[in-house]
Structure 1
Amino acid sequence: MKRALLFIPALLACIGAQADEVPSVTPYRPSVSTPAALSAPGWLEVEAGVQRSNAEDPRRRDTVPYTLKLAFTPDWGIRVGGDAFVHQQDAAGTSERGIGDTSIVLKRRFAVNDANAFGLEAGVKLPTARAGIGSEHTDAGLNGIFSSDFAPKWHVDVNLTATHLGGTPAGESAWQKGWASAFSRNLDEHWSAQAELSGTWRGGADRTTQALVAAAYAVSPAIVIDAGVSKGLNTASGGWSVFSGITFLAAKVF
């Protein structure tokens, strides 16, 4: 975790010199929801961060989440994401380390006007993590999105998801529904703030609900750093998480 934090200043120094020559980023992190907008077409956009979560089991989980995004047009794109590293400790004190599961998502945007857009994502999560760290099964799902700049400096993203889980206990539905609603506000030229509520429900299992607050700072249009905290609002939702990360344009692909 400490080594990952030290990586961020070095990364800023490497890419800061060219930041004014590239388009603006479109951060998806750190919220659960995603916007209808895609990243700049033809540019590889990278999101990376560190997160620490505390709950009953695992008692502590440290991760290094990442997302690689590439838009082919303003309306079509793909992204690949997961956890580059996971270190967790269960309730008995046993530690495990390794990479996390990997998600691949195809995205389509449907613009309504300059302020409003819908989006649709189709994704699959692959069980690339070792047993005990990941889910150990393949999931597939759809995510419907509505995004709106509904007032000056204000933005909202609403997501509704349906995911088919590859492995569920007897008596529990394989279909999990989810929702997320995130409101963000630009405070000035560099700073913005965000608040979000999200949750899931599934037949035979307890519902989950989570609250998240975060702040972001635009070092330049092409580099945004963020930090925040989330909290599960019931027993099934887990405990606290704290996180920080960065979104930047890495390279022009085409």
Structure 2
Amino acid sequence: MDILVVDDNNEYRDTLVRYFKSKGFRTEGAIDGVDGLARYRKRSHRVVLLDLMMPGMGGEEMLYEMSKWDELPVVIVMTVSSREDEYRYQLYEKGCFYYEEKPIDVQETAWKIRNLIQIQKRDGRSVQGAGSQMNREIQEFYEYVLDQIGQEEMNVAEIARKMGVGRRALDSMAREFLSVTMHDVIRNLRLLKAREICREGGAGNVKELAGMVGYRDAGYFSRLYREAFGSSVVEDLKSGVRLPAFGELRGRM
């Protein structure tokens, strides 16, 4: 399997290239997004380890360019700054398969790559196809939850049934990609929607807002809102707030 490491830090890039070569992977490095795209077009690597912050064409722009192609490689994004967490969901939509904080755990990353090989052998799918399918499932999940955001009875089991997958599979997807449970994701999407409604002035009071995002207990909803955003929902309803990025939620989503 071919691996492309795209990172402007020469020492770090060369270290990763040497390590993955020592584990039997055909590996080469690229100094930035432009170099990475050129090398990928020549060789069509199965896996791309992509630094997010680089001069010139950075990782996000390179990922965007690759997302235009019919078949994506498995892209593992590497980042050093917590402020970049807000981009995580947009990156998944563009084709990112894993999101790793630098310095990455090379042994774990190698294990993940080998696991993808096993998926390929077991299911007869390309590694790229497995990644693309997972990204489609995540997008389908988001769309369903946002469409049903006002339904109090919405839960993981119901969503899994609607999507035609098992509950365990859905939870595994959340833990693998987001490091939390699907229950946490649903809660946080409800709170983000509430924050958006506050910004737009779409609710007259806390009880109305709570009901719009699927909470019957306004007091419980208010506590969750304050824990997530550090502000009072009453104050935000009065003053209006800007729509937050995902990274504004306290803790990991």
Indicate the TM-score class for this superposition, using the shorter chain for normalisation. under 0.3
Structure richer in helix, relative to its length: 2
Please identify the structure whose Cα radius of gyration is greater.
2
Structure richer in strand, relative to its length: 1
TM-score normalized by the length of structure 1: 0.26
TM-score normalized by the length of structure 2: 0.26
Looking at both structures, which has the greater relative contact order when contacts are Cα pairs under 8 Å and sequence separation is at least 6? 1
